[in-house]
Structure 1
Amino acid sequence: MEADLLRHYGVDLLDWHRGRLTSRRLAVLVRHLPRDSALLRELHGEAAEWSVTEHLLAAAVDQLAEANWMFATVNRDEDSEPPEYPQPVPRPGQTPDTEDEAGPDRDADPLPSLREMQQFFA
């Protein structure tokens, strides 16, 4: 943490000990450290590097991949195999074991048939 404060703000933590830096000011400086600081990466891991923008972009990519999958499934020949369900963009803090990463649970919620999808989009 001290290296982050020194690098970004030019603050020496000994100033807090010596009484030249108030606890309130130190707390404000720590709260406003940049996302790429070592402290935030240590506390939050890879998630510290993802902002709302990155999460929204990953969601948009996932939705586009699902829409392409639906289009390809509906417009395939009846005798051909359906395309594989797309894998979502990996997000920080999620493991491939989680439901979001693994796609739909094919045993609990089977994918619709070609006829069901064509009826839905008709």
Structure 2
Amino acid sequence: MEKHGGEIYADLLRYYGVDVHAVFDGSLPPRHALALVEYLPIESATAVARRGGAEFYGWDRQAYLTADLIDAVLHLHHVTLSSNAKNPKKVPTPDPYPRPKTKGPTEPDLLLRKLRGEGAPPAPKLGPGSLIPLPS
């Protein structure tokens, strides 16, 4: 709420018809409000603010898919030109369709950190004379 309070307020009203003040008067449990905020669509103001700001407005799943399709057509065009050219190395490779630059996540994703093994105890060293630890 401190970083993106305005966006959260607007999105809860827009997508769910819920006023944030319902959390403070007790008619909406904070846990439910957090769940609503967590699953806001990618095109919501909150998601746009968390991803980096105004350059992300309009970049929903459909826009990313369209950009990927444009890149695929440009790549196929490049392959076709290269295969029919006398000197394929002189055919310039196309630039990808411009997309907004993503900033890294500000808060580390706990599940992603666990999957990467960050914060896990070090694996036991196995070799001649070492003991294999038994689970407790």
Q: TM-score, normalised by structure 2?
A: 0.52
SS of corresponding position for 2:90:
coil
- Give, as a single letter, the amino acid of the residue that structure 2 aligns with 1:85: T
Preserved CA contact (<8 Å) 1:72 1:83 = yes
Distance 1:49 1:18, change over 3 A: same
- Give, as a single letter, the amino acid of the residue that structure 2 aligns with 1:65: L
- Give, as a single letter, the amino acid of the residue that structure 1 aligns with 2:31: R
Preserved CA contact (<8 Å) 1:62 1:89 = yes
Query: 1:44 offset after TM fit, Å?
Result: 1.3
- Give, as a single letter, the amino acid of the residue that structure 1 aligns with 2:97: V
Distance 1:11 1:57, change over 3 A: closer
More helix per residue: 1
Give per-residue Cα distances to partners, 1:19-72, cap 9 Å, x unaligned: 111011111211232333211111114188332x54444334323322322322
**RMSD over aligned Cα, in angstroms?**
2.9
Q: Where does residue 97 of structure 1 map in the other structure?
A: none
What percent of counterpart residues are identical? 31
Instruction: Give the Cα separation in 2 of the matches to 1:56 and 1:10.
Output: 29
Q: How many residues align?
A: 92
Q: Where does residue 111 of structure 2 map in the other structure?
A: none
Preserved CA contact (<8 Å) 1:41 1:48 = no
Query: 1:8 offset after TM fit, Å?
Result: 2.4
Preserved CA contact (<8 Å) 1:6 1:12 = yes
Segments of 5+ residues of structure 2 without an aligned counterpart are 1-7, 103-136
Instruction: Give the Cα separation in 2 of the matches to 1:48 and 1:68.
Output: 27
Instruction: Give the Cα separation in 2 of the matches to 1:66 and 1:12.
Output: 47
Distance 1:28 1:72, change over 3 A: same
